[in-house]
Chains A and B, each alone.
Chain A
């Protein structure tokens, strides 16, 4: 059972480039979310989804887009990378019958 899988694990981008961080879960969870983690700031919610076709903004959505065409996948798009988006990004999923969130191993993104 793979759980939540994020790719890539590491990425370096130049300012202005765009890219997509992939997230897939095989637990048939309804809820999926993206967080970023910066030193000393905990995890901050970027976007979330309560089911296929439904997404909403979190605390820090600017510069990011998401879509949820299937239950399994929840990609995060960086539209035009900026150095302020250097961070570790975590995807998480949860069933609606439990409060336990399952996190992927993270994508470490550096924007130069």
Chain B
């Protein structure tokens, strides 16, 4: 499969800001998605970027730089409920074949 790299763990306090980076292979890149997964649960969609720039959805934002083969998910005003795993996923064509990173476990401390 295609290789994506993201940090394995991040710990932060409530109210803080966390940035999760994701780098991917450029060849055939189409778009970058982010998913959240609470322990034992189903992944849920957070965002999608196909063009360079920042997409904001409430406390979460996602950024893409196609020239750098890099994106990030920004979690602001962290809350305890944000403790979860976050996965970046790349589409290498306009179909449904998603390649997922190994995930970043975010732990929010009081």
Contacts and interface: CB of A to CB of B under 8 A. Distances in A.
Interface of A: 31-33, 35, 40-45, 48, 50, 58-59, 90, 92, 94, 99-106
Residue among A42, A45, A94, A101 having the largest count of chain B Cβ atoms under 10 Å: A42
B1 A48 contact: no
6 smallest A-B Cβ distances: which pairs? A31-B96, A42-B100, A103-B42, A99-B48, A100-B45, A59-B1
20 contacts: A32-B96, A33-B96, A40-B102, A42-B101, A43-B87, A45-B1, A45-B97, A48-B96, A59-B99, A92-B43, A99-B33, A99-B45, A99-B48, A100-B45, A100-B48, A101-B33, A102-B45, A103-B42, A106-B41, A106-B42
A101 B101 CA distance: 16
Interface of B: 1, 8, 31, 33, 35, 41-45, 48, 50, 87, 89, 91, 95-103
Contacts, number: 61
Given A40-B102, A99-B91, A50 B96 contact: yes
B15 to A, nearest CB: 28
Nearest to B85: A42
B42 A43 contact: no
A104 B89 CA distance: 17
Contacts of A33: 96-98
Given A45-B99, A101-B35, A103-B43, 8 more contacts: A33-B97, A41-B102, A42-B100, A42-B101, A43-B89, A48-B96, A90-B42, A101-B33
A27 B94 CA distance: 20
